[in-house]
Structure 1
């Protein structure tokens, strides 16, 4: 039995230097995503928000619209509709909106408040 113990200990010591290796580490990403081409449009049933979000280093992880509705705020996840384009439908009575984007490295950017268009009249 002792022989197996010494063999096991020897293997542990010999293999402890082996690691994943596999190449160079990923470059550090200290830059938040860019947010541009913001569009707000009153539509039946709400306010449509379109935005372009890009992150060249690690890619975009999440995009959230923060809508001010009356005296409350609502976080509305935005959906990717094409390469860098995101969209969400906000409540019709949204007064203001901010957009928060986070990349896969955890860097965040948030816009200032943007006034939403008034709701469409009922038909």
Structure 2
């Protein structure tokens, strides 16, 4: 089996969070989705697992933090060109996200913007032209 990255996130409203991550570009994997969780794939080896708070608590004894109050991590998704950065942010805003909680960066060879999901997790949408870096 090839290696994968799976990000597990506790969410307050599973249906709304699922709609947001579909707008962000994820595809629902019904094989690992149910009433307490949604599995979304962004690439063959990159997935996000959304879990209700009650279900998430089955995997940890630690309290669930509030990503709206404290920065816990920054997640980044790459896209194919700089116009897709703006289009992805626009789709995510239409699904309930908040655009640009952090400043956009335009370095010429790299362009990024940020989108905050409904639970406060911040995703960086990045286009990079590594040939010109």
TM over 0.5: no
Report the TM-score when normalising by structure 2: 0.26
Largest Rg, 1 or 2 = 1
The structure carrying a bigger strand percent of its residues is 1
Report the TM-score when normalising by structure 1: 0.27
